[in-house]
Chains A and B, each alone.
Chain A
C-alpha cells in the first residue's frame, strides 16, 4: 500500500508538468497581447516603451525560457505576480482557496445526503413507481443548468424572504452562522447536478451487485434482507460510485466558477474569470492550474479510498 501510494504520488509529477505545459502553451501561443491590452488605446506609448514593459514581465525571453522560469518559480513557492495589481499571486490564491473548497465540500456533502438513500430506494424497488420517479427526477436534475437554479433561488429568496446575498464573503472562523447562511444557496445550486449523477450511479451499481452470486449465497444462508443490503451489497456497490464522484468533481470545479460569479463569492473561479477578462495571464495560468490540481488530487484520494473499501484490489 505504501509502495502504491508513493508510485501514485510520483505519477502526479508528469501529469502536473504536462498540465502546466498545456496551460502555458495555450496562453503563450494563442493570439492576444497583454501589453497591447494594458496600454489600450493610448497611442502615445512608443514601441520601445512597449518593449520595456514586456521586459518587466519577462515576456522578451524565448518562451521555453519563460516556461522554465515560471515552473521553477512554482516549485520554489513563487507563483508570480499579477499583471494588473502587481500583487503576488500566492496572496490571491490564499484568499480565494478557502471559499472554493468550502463551497465544493458543502455541495458534496449535501448531494450525498440526498443521493445515497434515493439511489438505494430506487434500486431495491426496481421498475416500481418510486424507481421511475427517482430516475426521471435524476435526469431532470442532470439537465438543470446550475446557473439557472441559482438565479431562481435568488429570485425566490429576494421575493419571499427579502434576502439578498451579502456583498462580501463572511469567513466561517469569524461568523459561522453568517457564513453558512451565505454558502447554503450556492452550495445547494451546485449540488443538484452532482446529486443526480450520484443517485443514478448508486442505483446502477447496486442493481449490478444485487445480481451477483454472493448476494444469492447471503440470502440462501438465511440472512435478513437488510443485512444482505447493507453488509454485502452496499459496500461493493460504492466502488463505482466513488469513481463517479471523483469524475464529477471536475464538473463541480467548472460549476463553482459560475456559481461564485452569481453569488459574488471571491473564490478561485471568480478570481479566474476576473483575470480572463483583464487578460491577466499569470493569474489565469495559476487559477486554472489550481482548479485542475484540486480535481487531480481529489481523484487520487478517490483511488486510495478503493483500498479501504475493496481488499480484492491489490496495490503494488
Chain B
C-alpha cells in the first residue's frame, strides 16, 4: 500500500478542503478503484449534458421536419425519427428527464425509507414490528409489478411514475437504515451521549445518522440506476413520460415500430439508458469498495 501511495498525485487545490472528514480518503480510494472512478466521470459527463442540454443539442428536440427517418449524418448525428425530429437532440434533452426522475424518486425513497427505518430501529417494540411488517409486505411484491399497478391506477404520467418508483424502493432503504441503526445503537458512544444527557432527537441526528451514512450512500447510488431503469421500463410500457416529451424508454418503445427501416431509433435511446445505468452501477460498486472497511485488504 505504501508503494501505491507514492504514485498518487496530490489533489487539486480546489477540492483540498474536505467538508466530510474522510472525503480525501474516499477520493484516494476511488483512484485505486478505476471502475468507480470511470463511473463517476461518466455520471459527471451525463450531468453536464443534462444541465447544458440547450447548448449541447443541435436542434430543437420538438421541431418536426419533412426529413423523416433519415440515417445518421453530419446534420443529424443520430438520424431523425418518424416525425422528422432530431434523435440526438431528443436524447440529450431526455437525459434531463432520466436524471430528474432519478433524483426525485430516489429522494422520496430515501426520505420515506430512512425515516421509517431509523425510527423503527431506534424506538423498537411494537412500532418496529408494525413498520417491519408493512415493509415486508411491500417487499413481497416484485418492484416493477407494484410500480405498474400504482402508475396504472393513478394514471400514466411522469409524476406518477416517479411517485411509484419512490414508494416501491423505500423498503430497501428502510431495511438498510434499520439494520444499521440496530448495530449502531449498542455502541458505546451512543450510551455516552445518553449519559451526558443528550435528547433522543439530538442523538439520532448527530450520532446515529452520521454513522449509518456509508451504507446509505452506496444504496442511494445503486438506486439511481434502478430508478432510471424503472422509469425507462414504465415509459416503455406507456405508463411513464407521455409523448411528445422525450424520455429514453418512450423513444425506444416508439422507435421499435420502425426498427427495420430505422434501427437507430431503437439503438441510441437504449444505449443511452445502458450507459447511464452502467455509470451509476460502476460508481456504486466503487463507493462500496471504498466505504466498506470489511472489503479492504
Q: How far is the CB of A130 from chain B (nearest CB, A)?
A: 16
Assembly CA distance A44 to B153 (angstroms): 26
In the complex, whether A23 has a CB less than 8 A from a CB of chain B is yes
Interface residues on B, range: 35 or more
Assembly CA distance A135 to B270 (angstroms): 21
| Least CB separation from B266: chain A residue | A151
Contact A273–B237 (Cβ < 8 Å): yes
Contact B144–A257 (Cβ < 8 Å): yes
Contact B144–A251 (Cβ < 8 Å): yes
Could you say which residues of chain B place their CB within 8 Å of the CB of A31? 153-155
Contact A288–B149 (Cβ < 8 Å): yes
Could you say which residues of chain B place their CB within 8 Å of the CB of A255? 144
Interface string of A265-308 (1 = CB under 8 A from B): 00000001100110000001000100110011000000000000
In the complex, whether B75 has a CB less than 8 A from a CB of chain A is no
Assembly CA distance A288 to B141 (angstroms): 8
Main secondary structure of the interface of A (DSSP, over half): helix
Interface residues on A, range: 35 or more
In the complex, whether A63 has a CB less than 8 A from a CB of chain B is no
Contact A258–B237 (Cβ < 8 Å): yes
Assembly CA distance A246 to B155 (angstroms): 31
The residue that B270 contacts in the complex, of A26, A142, A145, A159, with Cβ under 8 A, is A145
Interface stretch of the complex, out of A14-22, A68-76, A108-116, A217-225? A14-22
Could you say which residues of chain B place their CB within 8 Å of the CB of A252? 142
The residue that A143 contacts in the complex, of B149, B236, B252, B281, with Cβ under 8 A, is B281
In the complex, whether B203 has a CB less than 8 A from a CB of chain A is no
In the complex, whether B30 has a CB less than 8 A from a CB of chain A is no
Contact B273–A145 (Cβ < 8 Å): yes
Contact A151–B259 (Cβ < 8 Å): yes
In the complex, whether B31 has a CB less than 8 A from a CB of chain A is no
Could you say which residues of chain B place their CB within 8 Å of the CB of A142? 277-278, 281
| Least CB separation from B270: chain A residue | A148
Assembly CA distance A151 to B257 (angstroms): 10
In the complex, whether A13 has a CB less than 8 A from a CB of chain B is no
In the complex, whether A65 has a CB less than 8 A from a CB of chain B is no
Q: How far is the CB of B111 from chain A (nearest CB, A)?
A: 20
Assembly CA distance A22 to B135 (angstroms): 11
Interface string of B109-149 (1 = CB under 8 A from A): 00000000000000000000000010011101111111111
Report if A148-B266 is in contact (Cβ < 8 Å); known contacts: A19-B141, A257-B148, A258-B236: yes
The residue that A296 contacts in the complex, of B140, B267, B273, with Cβ under 8 A, is B140
In the complex, whether B35 has a CB less than 8 A from a CB of chain A is yes
The residue that A140 contacts in the complex, of B141, B153, B270, B278, with Cβ under 8 A, is B278
Q: How far is the CB of B278 from chain A (nearest CB, A)?
A: 4
Q: How far is the CB of A8 from chain B (nearest CB, A)?
A: 14
Report if A145-B35 is in contact (Cβ < 8 Å); known contacts: A26-B150, A155-B259, A291-B145: no
Enumerate the 7 nearest inter-chain pairs by beta-carbon distance, A residue then B residue, closest first: A254-B144, A148-B270, A276-B152, A143-B278, A250-B142, A18-B137, A143-B277
| 20 extra A-B contacts, CB within 8 A, seeds A26-B153, A258-B144 | A22-B141, A30-B154, A135-B35, A148-B252, A148-B266, A148-B270, A148-B274, A151-B252, A155-B263, A254-B142, A254-B145, A254-B233, A255-B144, A261-B237, A272-B148, A277-B152, A284-B149, A284-B153, A288-B141, A292-B141
Residues of A within 8 A of B (CB): 15, 18-19, 22-23, 26-27, 30-32, 135-136, 139-140, 142-145, 147-148, 151-152, 154-155, 158-159, 249-255, 257-258, 261-262, 272-273, 276-277, 284, 288, 291-292, 295-296
19 A–B contacts from the bound complex (CB under 8 Å): A18-B133, A18-B137, A22-B141, A27-B153, A32-B153, A145-B270, A145-B274, A148-B274, A155-B266, A249-B142, A254-B144, A254-B147, A254-B233, A276-B149, A288-B148, A291-B142, A292-B140, A292-B145, A295-B141
Residues of B within 8 A of A (CB): 35, 133, 136-138, 140-150, 152-155, 225, 229, 232-233, 236-239, 249, 252-253, 256, 259-260, 263, 266-267, 269-270, 273-275, 277-278, 281-282, 285
